[in-house]
């Protein structure tokens, strides 16, 4: 269970979001305060004295430039330099991200958010703030999503589900051999096969498990931010760079660095990455001092790197540098014996999360699950089960609860039965406390589609 510490202030004009975070964040913060606008921000900072402020970027619905949020981010850093600001926006772009970082923001989060990533971003910000304030800091846990990064302490998150397939048994034997070493690992596999989970498992069984694992979505790093995000920058490196920024390599010092989607890094930036991996030292943007970093490197991709090397789109020397040990995760369709055990595991997990009394799935539901191709792999199965658990009204999941490929008439992602649609929309809003983004995600539709349904039924 995650240890709680620190205080966080949430500034967001969406009541549903404030209510959702008021429920979620006490799991990792001692105190959570929420306000609807910056009108009382100054007085709340003085009275509440938070470690972290989660700040919405827009409070005027007719203006979505993020200027108001950027202004208040700057003001918070002026009033309380040690308080970390995490920006909260549905309108993220390169310019906004750069400007927010220039004004001293710790990171930014895009709505709709992933709970694990949100929590880890905020706990990482808290740890930095408490260290700066001279308080007891501990590493964050879970996944840190902002522009790019995640921080994972020890063996957080769900453990790896190994199942009974021969391929997974072989991978487990490999893990037992390599985990205690510092060997660089390349994990490949289709989207949704659990590459990030395997990376966490390797870290959890390594000699560095008591230190943090920093995970970076390399494919999400813009070229503008690449060096700053990975290698850091010094105060004054660019206009309004008021503080030093520690890059992901330094954050992972002593622990593990997980570079996800490494195949998406542009060719000209691969050379800079290779240099740091070879030298095990970084030079921050705007600085001159080489800072040594002691890391264990794990990389992952869903791309064929050998093909990219042949095509001249991935450096051969970088490929061999990150490919000391190669683990290929099989797609779920190649391990069909694991589908039902995985589904049952997810049923147990989500029944507990959503306070539902579910004991499993019936034979009809099991047959539907076994018949699917699961192009989205474990992640797709997980999403299907989560939705089924939320909407089920029985003690076991039935065939009617499984909403994939036309298996249910009540899926928002396909054609509705008219009498079911409004009920499902209302249920989703009720069960997410009015959080539109979360409700849309729950039912597997885009926010614009869900907004249209809300308007249609006057909700």
CA 419, CA 416: separation in Å to the nearest integer?
Answer: 8
Answer whether residue 411 is part of any domain: yes
Answer whether residue 1 is part of any domain: no
Strand partners, 285: 233
CA 216, CA 356: separation in Å to the nearest integer?
Answer: 34
Hey, CA dihedral for 145, 149, 155, 161, is it positive or negative? positive
- Which of 129-133, 220-224, 370-374, 409-413 bottoms out in mean pLDDT, i.e. has the lowest? 409-413
Which residues form the domain of 383?
Answer: 335-456
CA 127, CA 132: separation in Å to the nearest integer?
Answer: 9
Q: Are residues 212 and 94 in the same domain?
A: no
Q: Residue 119: which H helix or E strand, with range?
A: helix 115-132
Question: What's residue 194's pLDDT?
Answer: 92
Answer whether residue 385 is part of any domain: yes
If one counts the domains in the chain, the total is 3
E strands in 125-174: 149-153
Answer whether residue 159 is part of any domain: no
CA proximity to 213, closest of 302, 300, 325: 300
Q: Are residues 304 and 347 in the same domain?
A: no
Q: Are residues 98 and 191 in the same domain?
A: no
Task: Give yes or no for a contact between 345 and 161, defined as CB atoms under 8 angstroms apart.
Answer: yes
**Peptide bond before residue 436 is cis, with ω within 30 degrees of 0:** no
Task: Give yes or no for a contact between 284 and 247, defined as CB atoms under 8 angstroms apart.
Answer: yes
Q: Are residues 69 and 183 in the same domain?
A: no
CATH number of the domain within which 413 lies: 1.10.8.60
CATH number of the domain within which 83 lies: 3.40.50.2300
Q: Are residues 79 and 176 in the same domain?
A: no
Which two three-digit tokens encode residue 389? 């658990």
Q: Are residues 110 and 49 in the same domain?
A: yes
Question: What's residue 150's pLDDT?
Answer: 43
Q: Are residues 175 and 301 in the same domain?
A: yes
Q: Are residues 315 and 180 in the same domain?
A: yes
- Which of 7-21, 110-124, 190-204 bottoms out in mean pLDDT, i.e. has the lowest? 110-124
CA 401, CA 336: separation in Å to the nearest integer?
Answer: 21
CA proximity to 386, closest of 114, 1, 97, 11: 114
The pLDDT tens digits of the residues spanning 396-422 come to 998 888 887 443 333 333 333 344 567
From 270, 301, 328, the end of a domain falls on: 328
Answer whether residue 172 is part of any domain: yes
From 328, 357, 377, the end of a domain falls on: 328
CA 392, CA 401: separation in Å to the nearest integer?
Answer: 6
The pLDDT tens digits of the residues spanning 271-322 come to 999 999 999 999 988 888 899 999 999 999 999 999 999 999 999 999 999 9
Task: Put residue 429 in one of left, alpha, beta given phi > 0 → left and psi -120 to 50 → alpha.
Answer: alpha
Answer whether residue 369 is part of any domain: yes
List CB contacts of 258: < 8 A, sequence separation 6 or more. 150, 196, 199, 200, 203, 213, 214, 215, 216, 298, 299, 300
Answer whether residue 377 is part of any domain: yes
Answer whether residue 83 is part of any domain: yes
Q: What are phi and psi of 361, to 5 degrees?
A: -135, 150
Q: Are residues 89 and 185 in the same domain?
A: no
Residue 63 has pLDDT above 50, yes or no: no
Q: Are residues 339 and 394 in the same domain?
A: yes
Q: Are residues 349 and 261 in the same domain?
A: no
Distance, CA of 129 to chain centre: 21
CA 122, CA 85: separation in Å to the nearest integer?
Answer: 9
Helix or strand or coil: residue 194? coil
Residue 139 has pLDDT above 50, yes or no: no
Q: Are residues 315 and 373 in the same domain?
A: no
From 282, 308, 328, the end of a domain falls on: 328
């Amino acid at each position: 269970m995650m240890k709680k510490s620190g205080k966080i202030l949430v500034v967001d004009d969406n009541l549903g979001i404030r209510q959702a975070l008021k429920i979620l964040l006490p799991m990792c913060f001692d105190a959570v305060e929420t306000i609807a606008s910056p009108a009382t921000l100054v007085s709340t900072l003085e009275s509440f004295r938070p470690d972290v402020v989660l700040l919405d970027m827009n409070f005027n619905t007719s203006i979505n430039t993020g200027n108001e949020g950027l202004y208040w981010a700057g003001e918070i850093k002026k009033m309380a330099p040690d308080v970390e600001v995490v920006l909260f926006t549905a309108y993220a772009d390169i310019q906004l991200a750069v400007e927010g970082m220039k004004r001293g923001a710790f990171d930014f989060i895009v709505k709709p958010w992933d709970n694990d990533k949100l929590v880890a971003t905020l706990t990482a910000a808290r740890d930095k703030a408490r260290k700066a304030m001279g308080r007891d800091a501990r590493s964050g846990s879970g996944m840190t999503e902002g522009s790019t990064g995640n921080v994972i302490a020890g063996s957080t998150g769900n453990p790896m589900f190994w199942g009974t397939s021969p391929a997974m048994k072989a991978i487990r034997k490999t893990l037992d051999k390599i985990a205690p070493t510092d060997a660089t690992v390349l994990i490949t596999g289709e989207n949704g096969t659990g590459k990030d989970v395997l990376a966490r498992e390797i870290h959890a069984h390594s000699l560095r498990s008591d230190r943090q694992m920093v995970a970076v979505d390399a494919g999400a790093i813009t070229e503008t931010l690449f060096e700053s995000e990975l290698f850091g920058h010094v105060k004054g490196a660019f206009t309004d760079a008021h503080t030093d920024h520690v890059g992901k390599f330094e954050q992972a010092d002593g622990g593990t660095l997980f570079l996800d989607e490494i195949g998406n890094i542009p060719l000209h930036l691969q050379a800079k990455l290779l240099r740091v991996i070879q030298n095990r030292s970084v030079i921050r943007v705007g600085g001159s001092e080489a800072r040594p970093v002691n890391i264990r490197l794990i990389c992952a991709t869903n791309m064929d790197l050998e093909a990219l090397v042949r095509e001249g789109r991935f450096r051969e020397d970088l490929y061999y540098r990150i490919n000391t040990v190669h683990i290929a995760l099989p797609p779920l369709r190649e391990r069909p014996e694991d589908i039902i055990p995985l589904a049952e595991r997810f049923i147990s997990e989500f029944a507990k999360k959503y306070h539902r009394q579910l004991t499993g799935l019936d034979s009809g539901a099991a047959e539907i699950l076994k018949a699917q191709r699961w192009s989205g792999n474990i992640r797709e199965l997980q999403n299907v089960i989560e939705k089924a658990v939320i909407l089920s009204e029985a003690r076991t999941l039935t065939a009617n609860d499984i909403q994939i490929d036309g298996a249910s008439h009540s899926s928002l992602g396909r054609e509705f039965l008219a009498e079911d649609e409004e009920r499902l929309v209302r249920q989703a809003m009720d069960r997410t406390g009015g959080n539109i983004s979360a409700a849309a995600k729950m039912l597997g539709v885009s926010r614009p589609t869900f907004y249209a349904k809300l308007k249609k039924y006057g909700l």
